[in-house]
Amino acid sequence: MTSTARRTSALALTVALTAALGALTPVGTAHAATGPGALILGGGAIADTNSAVYSTFVTKSGGSAARIGIITAASVVPADDPNAGDPATCSNSVCNGTYYGNLLKNSYGAADAQWIPIDLDHIGNNASQSVLNQINSMTGFFFGGGDQSRLVTTLMKSDNSDSPALAAIRAKFAAGAAVMGTSAGTAITNGRDMVTGGESWDALRYGPHTTISDSYPDDLSYRPEGGFNFFTSGLIDTHFAARGREGRITRLAAATGHTRAFGVDEDTALVVTNPGTANESDAVVGTNGVSILDLRSDTVGTHSGYWSVDGVKWTYLTNGDTYNPATWTATSTKPAYAPTSGTVGSRWSDVFSSPNSPTDHSYQMVKMARELVGAGRSTTQYGISYESGPTFEADLAKGTGYKAWKSGSTISFANLTTHLYVY
């Protein structure tokens, strides 16, 4: 979140909350729908100016008639935000709710956008009739970033069933209301085996765990019960290529029996139409891309005593590209790209964009893939992890089903075969 939109006073916050619980206008006929609403799954760090993402969400929520409920329960509460008193730098559930409300109304033309007053300080509001009335008046819902465990705590019961508020949101979604998430707000839309943390090297080295370790915070963790189960076409991860999460989601998918996983990059969204139906279609909007990992033909084993996987097919789609989950196929309007000259350079380093590296290697695996795609005379390329003990290697190959597209400097590709093992 940028600081420019957090221009609100304590009085304004109080007014916003009062309005949220006050008189509510009914849903207009502009949003009459009989099937599931669209999902706009943002990878995090969505720029205020990213109209491709935000305008899509507002349009799917009813356009100029859109009434959007904002859920920022993944954020810390004001008491835990050291900048709570500064509207320019605060980042907590209340000021973030105001921020997104202003953004969606003032910049993207929603008729209304209101904070849904549920957070760790107001868990009981998930059964409040006034909050349920508020939810039932909405045509779209926005889930902000933070920590998805807070969304579990505030919107789900201890037996993993829906709170009344989540049940109301689910019913609205089933009837056509759009749902957008960013970062944790996207992760929570997943079904079983929702990822909750970890880094790629640690995931490859130690495997997945169902609890988050204070002693080993970089271990791969996940919640077997999952999140809200709005998105069911595969596992989903966020901040994907920027933080080198290719290794962690591959390890989790392989360990939990998932044959497909999606990784959404920052400032980018996967727009899912008819989610969960036979007619589901997915489209990429934004500045970076979405990775789709196909594990139907993977081979899991060991190499030098450590976990390994081969045969994972990696597809990377960019703005305007589409994907059909039913047929496992990607489509692009960009021209086909099959250069006949050029070779790859030497091996790449820090392919999992380690947070421990003193050098920023964001999008390192994608950069390596683009080099291979652009090298017509080369069929393989590889890189290694920053961490050692052991050092993991990622091999990419132009195998069966591989193809690529290019428009300007933007490259998309399908079915690069990936092999992860000890170097």
Q: Which of 108, 125, 124, 115 is nearest to 58 (CA)?
A: 108
Helix H or strand E encompassing 14 = helix 10-20
* Residues 308, 304: Cα–Cα separation, whole Å: 9
Does the annotation count 378 as an active-site position?
no
Given the residues 183, 221, 233, 385, select the one marked as catalytic: 183
Q: Which conformational region is residue 8 in: left (phi greater than 0), alpha (psi within -120 to 50 degrees), or beta?
A: beta
Tokens read off for 241: 């290529």
From start to end of 1-102, where are the E strands? 39-42, 67-71
Which residue has tokens 């959404």?
Answer: 264
Name residues whose C-beta falls within 8 Å of residue 227's C-beta, 6 or more positions apart in sequence. 148, 151, 152, 187, 188, 189, 190, 191, 194
* Residues 175, 95: Cα–Cα separation, whole Å: 30
Q: Which of 323, 314, 320 is nearest to 333 (CA)?
A: 320
* Residues 209, 222: Cα–Cα separation, whole Å: 6
Does the annotation count 183 as an active-site position?
yes
Answer yes or no: are the C-beta atoms of 369 and 412 closer than 8 Å.
Answer: no
Answer yes or no: are the C-beta atoms of 418 and 314 closer than 8 Å.
Answer: yes
Given the residues 81, 112, 193, 202, select the one marked as catalytic: 202
Helices within 83-219 (DSSP H only): 93-102, 129-136, 148-155, 164-174, 184-187, 200-206
Does the annotation count 298 as an active-site position?
no
* Residues 144, 410: Cα–Cα separation, whole Å: 28
* Residues 195, 235: Cα–Cα separation, whole Å: 8
Q: How many Cα atoms within 13 Å fall on the side-chain side of residue 347?
A: 13
Name residues whose C-beta falls within 8 Å of residue 259's C-beta, 6 or more positions apart in sequence. 234, 253, 294, 295, 296
Given the residues 31, 239, 361, 419, select the one marked as catalytic: 239
Helix H or strand E encompassing 2 = none
Active-site residue list: 183, 202, 239
